[in-house]
Structure 1
Amino acid sequence: MSLVDRSTRLNAASQGAEKTRPAGKGRLAALETSLAGWVLPILLVALWEYLARLGIIASNVLPAPSAIAEAGWAALKSGELVRNMGVSTLRAFAGLFVGGVIGLAFGIANGLSELSHRYTDTTLQMIRNVPHLALIPLVILWFGIEEEAKLFLVALGVFFPIYINTLHGVRTVDPQLIEMGRVYGMSPLTLFRRVVLPGALPSIFVGLRFALGIMWLTLIVAETIAASSGLGYMAMQAREFLLVDVVVLAILIYALLGKLADVLTRWLEGLCLQWHPAFQAKRD
């Protein structure tokens, strides 16, 4: 083998090693980042368990995590926990779908059309300043305690974060990109699909993540006031019998479901925004 061939192979091997090392480091850094967020919750739970076992935290005030886990296992074996989780999750995402689709439609329409914005935005902003949870007595009079009441409240709660952020995203798309698309002869539909919507997606996802928090908050209140099933109903029934561990269990499940929904949204965000420089930097 000639020295040139040997040198070429060595250079290729070294370049491959250099490419492999950053990739491995990147995966390790991503794993560390994903696990870092759980360090503090685990430490807090461990401290909570320790203080509860010492008797510093009374069991009738805040049961130990082990007692809550036992209550959760008992509810899981009876099927009550799975049934109520399924009901609450279905309610939450049904309301998110209805309110999100309407909010997205109004945000796009008012962002693209000055006429639509002129005639509808003022009314929507007036409604936005009315706390939607204050409408619960009126909603109960309208719908009773059936599913329509929860669906209406959740949809109304998630509507405005998605509407505001979609409107902001559409209106802040770079006008030079829009003008360039017109110069290249794009039709209005193609211009929207290739330029406006991708430019607005980061703001839309911000609205979606904010709406997820409002979604669970609204559902918790709605289920504890007017419901015959779901996690909120389970918590209220446990309160009647002074089962503090079940009440705390329901609250923790709400938190875990909210975290799971946020993780899925962030995954979808990264998938849809692979072209965005900010998300490429995070991935690298």
Structure 2
Amino acid sequence: GGAPIEILRQYIEEQQTPNQDACGVRALDLGLNPEASRAYGEAAAVLRLPRALLIRRLILPAALPSFMAGVRLALSAGWSSLLAVELLASSEGIGYLMVWARQLFMLDIVFVCIAVIGVVGVSMDLFIGRADRKLVHWPHPPTAQLNRGRAQSGWAAWYLPIALLLLWQAAYQLQWVDRQILVSPLLVLQTTWAGLLDGSLPGAMLMSLSRTLGGLLLGGLAGFSIGLLLGLSKPAERLFGPSLGALRQIAIFAWVPLLTAWFGLGEPAKWVFVSFAAFFPLYIATQRSVANQSPQLAEAARVLRLSPLQRLGRLVLPGAAPGIFGGLRLSLIYAWLGTIGSEYFMPSNGGIGSLMIGAQQLLRMDVIMAGMLLVGLTGALLNFLGQRIEARATRWRHA
């Protein structure tokens, strides 16, 4: 394989006349930005590429950059999820070792485990990065510029949820799974409605949201400040950047035993955990957005003789605003996930996660699923709110 445009050029040289028996291609969607997809599709249609050659030499190489970025994200998420499972319920693994050491207050072992987790995370990231550079060796647009795909609209977006809901009801009616484990969706809706009426679910959600916003305020403010400092100062980036990059590779759940040993199971530990979750997305977005700005902004600042504060307020921050608000949206999502995780691992003082843990001990699957429903809806609402804030704060970008 090679770069898609280079492959097309090579194909033109090897085969001067189109293959009349080849399968014609009228449209092609490679998951890239519309201009690239349209260019590749038109070239493939003109050359009348056979479908097998089209997939092997054009579609797969063109989609490879996005695929490798997805592999890197999936590996990081899988590593974090594995540690979370071992912390919650396991009799072996490094997560179980951390829990065992925390119970015996052997914090030296906890620190060693955190260091090992960080080394493994850095090693996996370096391996995927090296494989990415080796496989995708041609010039290609950054992953951030890749097209996210067209969202389904209308009834088409509801086909899969409705099908899954019908399958769920059929599994309950036909007793494919024990009914104490898989309850009826109607019972989940009834439990949700009853919880809304008696105030148990709204109270738990409000407490969880307060932790989310508090942790977002602390972690987001720290991430923005440090990211701005490192983006503006290259010496500071060389001094602190590698250490922060190494800390970022440590799965967030690896800090749970240490935080509970330092702060207990109360509110301070939860707020610190949520702050950790919200810190890195905004830090990375701010630092990269500020550091990668066009050199023309610096020239404009010198021509206009702007002071450092004027340059920061009129050029640097407005120019970096799209990336900063994109990082803020991610920090909001991570803060919500961190809140649920903190309430799972530190089940005290209320919250929707603590409510679900209590329901699990009583085997109230309807309450657990009602909580899952509200967690999902709240996460979708926070994501929508973050998108609206990002679009409104950077609306000048599309003018």
Q: For residue 320 of structure 2, what is the amino acid of its counterpart?
A: A
Task: Name 1:122's counterpart in structure 2.
Answer: 242
Could you say if the C-alpha distance between residues 222 and 118 of structure 1 is closer, same or farther in structure 2, counting changes exceeding 3 Å? same
Task: Name 2:89's counterpart in structure 1.
Answer: none
Could you say if the C-alpha distance between residues 158 and 52 of structure 1 is closer, same or farther in structure 2, counting changes exceeding 3 Å? same
Q: Please report how far the alpha carbon of residue 261 of structure 1 lies from its aligned counterpart in structure 2 after TM superposition.
A: 0.8
Q: Please report how far the alpha carbon of residue 148 of structure 1 lies from its aligned counterpart in structure 2 after TM superposition.
A: 0.4
Could you say if the C-alpha distance between residues 196 and 43 of structure 1 is closer, same or farther in structure 2, counting changes exceeding 3 Å? farther
Could you say if the C-alpha distance between residues 255 and 125 of structure 1 is closer, same or farther in structure 2, counting changes exceeding 3 Å? same
Q: For residue 276 of structure 1, what is the amino acid of its counterpart?
A: R
Is the contact between residue 282 and residue 327 of structure 2 (CA under 8 Å) also seen in structure 1?
yes
Task: Name 1:274's counterpart in structure 2.
Answer: 395
Query: Does 1 or 2 have the higher relative contact order (CA < 8 Å, sep 6+)?
Result: 1
1:233 is the counterpart of 2:331: no
Instruction: Give the 5 Å matches for 1:171-190.
Output: 171-190=291-310
Q: Give the one of 376, 381, 386 matched to 1:265.
A: 386
* CA distance in structure 2 between the aligned counterparts of 1:251 and 1:47, rounded to whole angstroms: 18
Could you say if the C-alpha distance between residues 245 and 34 of structure 1 is closer, same or farther in structure 2, counting changes exceeding 3 Å? same
Cα deviation digits, residues 119-144 of structure 1 (max 9, x gap): 22222222222222111111111111
1:208 is the counterpart of 2:328: yes
Q: Please report how far the alpha carbon of residue 85 of structure 1 lies from its aligned counterpart in structure 2 after TM superposition.
A: 0.6
Is the contact between residue 212 and residue 258 of structure 1 (CA under 8 Å) also seen in structure 2?
no
Unaligned residue ranges in structure 1 (runs of 5+): 1-31
Could you say if the C-alpha distance between residues 124 and 73 of structure 1 is closer, same or farther in structure 2, counting changes exceeding 3 Å? same
Q: Give the one of 246, 267, 273 matched to 2:367.
A: 246
Q: Give the one of 282, 301, 316 matched to 1:162.
A: 282
Q: For residue 99 of structure 1, what is the amino acid of its counterpart?
A: G
* CA distance in structure 1 between the aligned counterparts of 2:334 and 2:262, rounded to whole angstroms: 22
Q: Please report how far the alpha carbon of residue 35 of structure 1 lies from its aligned counterpart in structure 2 after TM superposition.
A: 7.9
Could you say if the C-alpha distance between residues 34 and 215 of structure 1 is closer, same or farther in structure 2, counting changes exceeding 3 Å? farther
Q: Greater helix percent: which structure? A: 1
Q: For residue 170 of structure 1, what is the amino acid of its counterpart?
A: V
Q: Please report how far the alpha carbon of residue 57 of structure 1 lies from its aligned counterpart in structure 2 after TM superposition.
A: 5.1
Unaligned residue ranges in structure 2 (runs of 5+): 1-151
Q: For residue 253 of structure 1, what is the amino acid of its counterpart?
A: L
Could you say if the C-alpha distance between residues 137 and 169 of structure 1 is closer, same or farther in structure 2, counting changes exceeding 3 Å? same
* CA distance in structure 2 between the aligned counterparts of 1:191 and 1:210, rounded to whole angstroms: 27
Q: Please report how far the alpha carbon of residue 33 of structure 1 lies from its aligned counterpart in structure 2 after TM superposition.
A: 4.7
Task: Name 1:64's counterpart in structure 2.
Answer: 184
Cα deviation digits, residues 71-128 of structure 1 (max 9, x gap): 1122222221111111111011110110000000000010001232232222222222
Is the contact between residue 166 and residue 204 of structure 1 (CA under 8 Å) also seen in structure 2?
yes
Q: Please report how far the alpha carbon of residue 239 of structure 1 lies from its aligned counterpart in structure 2 after TM superposition.
A: 0.7
Give the TM-score taking structure 1 as reference length.
0.80
Task: Name 1:217's counterpart in structure 2.
Answer: 337
Identity %: 36
* CA distance in structure 2 between the aligned counterparts of 1:33 and 1:183, rounded to whole angstroms: 48
Q: For residue 192 of structure 2, what is the amino acid of its counterpart?
A: G
Q: For residue 66 of structure 1, what is the amino acid of its counterpart?
A: L
* CA distance in structure 2 between the aligned counterparts of 1:221 and 1:169, rounded to whole angstroms: 29
* 3-state secondary structure, aligned to 1:275: helix
* CA distance in structure 2 between the aligned counterparts of 1:253 and 1:198, rounded to whole angstroms: 36
